[in-house]
Structure 1
Amino acid sequence: MTAEPATPVIVFDGVCLLCSRWVRFLLKHDRAARYRFAAMQSESGRALLLAHGLDPDSPLSFLLVEDDRGHTDTDAIARILRGLGARRWRWLGRAVSWLPRRLRDPAYRFVARHRYRIFGRSRCCFLPTPEQRTRFMP
């Protein structure tokens, strides 16, 4: 098992085009470089998912590891948005949290289950630029 990261880590599906766009969005808007990333197909991503009781082969596996705790589904998305710092993203993160979980999580899971069909799939994992590479775990 891998040691818990000191900085927040987002474990994402590296071949999912929606997930890759989400990571690009975060790289652009996370001006403080607060978040690190690990593809669920990577050794560190798989280890983090397993350490938090998630199946690394499940299409529903999305994880934010922050303060030694794992957050999934829309809770993870809301926390990430609030962590970006800018007022508009904090507000959007709070708005997501205000919606009842019984409404938001089923919608998230539907999209997660069908994301390849809706958004497409890449043949290889998202590749960061050389400048972004330090933000990605092996």
Structure 2
Amino acid sequence: MRANKRTQPMIMLVDGHCHLCNGITKFVIKRDKAAKFQFASLQSQIGQQLLAEGGLPLHDLDTFVFICSGRYYTKSGAALRVFRQLNGLWPLLYSFIIVPAPIRNAVYDFIASNRYRWFGRSDSCLLPNASLRERFLDE
């Protein structure tokens, strides 16, 4: 998994059982024309390994993790950095990085703590179709 920073993929770690997280994964895939992103669930073996390598808690499923150039970003900082990498006007949302992290993360935490109630939960992770399978690290 160690590679030159230029060749390291951008990795999103999401809660594999969360419908909102699965929707976000599909949203990113649709707008990632260059296929720069790879994905894994927080619960997967590779997800747990990456969390450990980044010094992050292994059982905190209420966070979203974005790994880029060997750096780990969580919560709103991760989301804004993902937007910055997408096609279209989505990178403009990165301008919200000027909002102090405690305020951004309070909104993030509120949504994260209610996501199962609002969007639902599945017993299994998103199963990618054959053309996307190589972008999912758990496969």
TM-score (norm 1): 0.90
Deviates more, 1:53-62 or 1:99-108: 53-62
Q: CA deviation at 1:93?
A: 2.2
Q: Hey, what's the Cα distance between the residues in 2 that align with 1:48 and 1:123? A: 22
**Stretches (4+) displaced over 3 A:** 2-5
Q: 2:63 aligns with which of 40, 61, 64?
A: 61
Aligned residue number for residue 90 of structure 1:
91
Mapped partners of 1:48, 1:23: distance in 2: 18
In structure 1, which of residues 35, 43, 46 is the aligned counterpart of residue 45 of structure 2?
43
For 2:45 and 2:17, locate their aligned partners in 1 and report how far apart those are by CA, in whole Å. Answer: 15
Matches within 5 A, 1:1-138: 3=2, 6-86=8-88, 88-94=89-95, 96-138=96-138
Partner letter of residue 64 of structure 1? Answer: F
Where 2:129 maps in the other structure, the secondary structure is coil
Once the two structures are superposed, residues 69-97 of structure 1 have per-residue CA deviations (whole angstroms, 9 ceiling, x without a partner) of 101111111110001142x1111222x21
Query: Superposition RMSD on alpha carbons, in Å?
Result: 1.6
- Could you tell me which amino acid in structure 1 is paired with residue 111 of structure 2? V
TM-score of the aligned structures, taking structure 2 as reference length: 0.89
Letter in 2 for 1:48: L
The answer (yes or no) to whether the contact 2:11–2:37 under 8 Å persists in 1 is yes
Amino acid at match of 2:40: A
Structure 2 portions without partners, runs of 5+: none
Tell me which amino acid in the other structure corresponds to 1:110: F
Fraction of identical pairs, as percent:
34
